[in-house]
Amino acid sequence: MDREEQFKHERLAKADKLRAMGIDPYGGRFADVESAVAIRTRAGGLNLSPGVISEGDRARAAGRIVLLRDMGKLAFVTVRDGTGEIQIGLSKNAMSEQWDAVKLLDLGDIIGADGRLGVTKTGELTIWVDRLHVLCKALHPPPEKWHGLTDVELRYRHRYVDLFSNPPVRDVFRRRSTIVQAVRDYLIGCGYIEVETPALQPIYGGAAAKPFVTHHNTLDVDLFLRISPELYLKRLLVGGLDRVFEVSRNFRNEGISTRHNPEFTMVELYEAYADYEVMMERIEGMTALAIERLDGKMRRTVGDKELDFSTPWARHRYGDLLKKYADVDMDDADGVFQRAKQLGIYRTDKKNVDLFAQEAAKGSMIDHSVLVNDVFEATVEEHLVQPTIVYDYPAALCPLTRRSADRSDIALRFEAYVCGMELGNAYSELNDPTIQRANLGRGTMAGEQETMAVMDEDFLLSLEYGMPPAGGLGVGIDRLVMMLTDQPSIRDVILFPLQRPR
């Protein structure tokens, strides 16, 4: 029997002993519990004297045992709840009927305690217990004697242990909740309504990504987990819901990295009669409110960088940044191709044929734009450390976007970057059904196995009924939380990130 199994065997035996005493080792309802922080706050105004136990000031607490000191006829136990820790004192004289149960407690058990408040001679606030409640007998000991679960893979795989043994991890997810609520409150304050659109879609679209495919048995049809709610939200604009947003789970059958998880959360919003400049205000506004709700510090540290989220954020044209950092003009097809070769950027087919060279010879604008963007990602993104809005993208990359009135090869699109990472993506939305049909009919890009250019006849039909000019924005909630809580990996802000099976 290994050590882990031995611990479990011993704790099961203790659970049986509790049952023999008439005590359910898995407890039941335990109402009117006061949090550790509330007890400490209340006790602060009681003027408790060291070494004295109050006669009238009582408390009822519950939590997981994180420290247990057995001193014979006296035991001190520290319990941790969702707000903090508090010490409880257990005395054989005061608990003679329950003393045998006290001796069966272990680290990790969840207990409840009723008793009088006091302060020890060393100044520690303590609940001196006259009634103990066993609420859950833990069969496994906590990790590393409560120094925390440190193995990264185990932290993600056993998040429940990570949460109860590492309070700072719990705090990240509390702050995540604050950020998401701030985003919702900001948009509702701007007149938006929150909606829900299908996660199972007969046709996927709205982004360039591989979908997950599933099958519905009753209808005998293949369906896709959504890669984006975009096309459904735009249908709502057609229907007269002028300002809509959705906080949605999206799914992309792609790689896993510190910035990517196959299942992720976005907030996506659409506003009739707006454009991408209004969307710039929206991403700044929701971020500012989230920061205000967290701590109000617009200047914050992320990793080893000092960032300033004060508005307005820096704004730069895509082509200007490419010229500055890649030393190439985005319209110079040969220059872009040569720069890509210098950077070692190629896309080849199964016969190792350079597809970009092949398509460039045919004068393909789509493939030129893809190569431009690869060069942009390789040379520009690392410099976009401070919150920055990059606007006016190559139009061929953006089949759902309105074109510039001055240049038909420029899309009215922006991406927001922080620490070299894309945080959000926005368009002045294309609402011309004829142009939209032509864009969706151009097919995939060279070397790509997927594209957002998927033909959706019902979406096109909705445009033919008339969609108002609009601005649209999608912001990665997970990445926003990473930035505002200073977490290095997306897996640190997702409760249960996808893991390779053991």
What pLDDT score does 357 carry? Answer: 54
Q: Give the whole-number percent of the chain exceeding pLDDT 90.
A: 78
Model pLDDT for residues 145-172, shown as the tens digit of each residue: 444 556 788 889 999 999 998 999 999 9
pTM for this model (two decimals): 0.91
Residues constituting the chain:
502
What pLDDT score does 447 carry? Answer: 39
Contacts of 410 (CB under 8 A, 6+ apart): 392, 393, 394, 395, 403, 404
Model confidence at 311, pLDDT cuts 50, 70, 90, reads very high
What pLDDT score does 354 carry? Answer: 55
Model confidence at 365, pLDDT cuts 50, 70, 90, reads low
pLDDT for residue 37 is more than 70: yes
Model pLDDT for residues 217-248, shown as the tens digit of each residue: 999 999 999 999 999 999 999 999 999 999 99
What pLDDT score does 344 carry? Answer: 87
Mean local confidence (pLDDT), 56-61: 94
Mean local confidence (pLDDT), 457-484: 97
Mean local confidence (pLDDT), 181-207: 96
What pLDDT score does 150 carry? Answer: 62
Say which DSSP state 445 is in: P
Cα dist from 390 to 154, 188, 320, 387, 412, whole Å: 38, 26, 10, 10, 11
Give the sheet arrangement for strand 263-272, strand by strand: 193-194, 243-251, 263-272, 470-476, 421-428, 410-418, 388-394, 314-317
Contacts of 262 (CB under 8 A, 6+ apart): 212, 251, 252, 253, 254, 256, 498
Q: Give the whole-number percent of the chain exceeding pLDDT 70.
A: 92
Model pLDDT for residues 411-464, shown as the tens digit of each residue: 999 999 999 999 999 999 999 999 999 988 875 443 344 445 578 999 999 999
Q: Which two tokens stand for residue 456?
A: 């959706």
Model pLDDT for residues 373-415, shown as the tens digit of each residue: 999 999 999 999 999 999 999 999 999 999 999 999 999 999 9
What pLDDT score does 208 carry? Answer: 85
Mean local confidence (pLDDT), 73-87: 96
- Per the prediction, the chain carries an average pLDDT of 91
What pLDDT score does 225 carry? Answer: 97
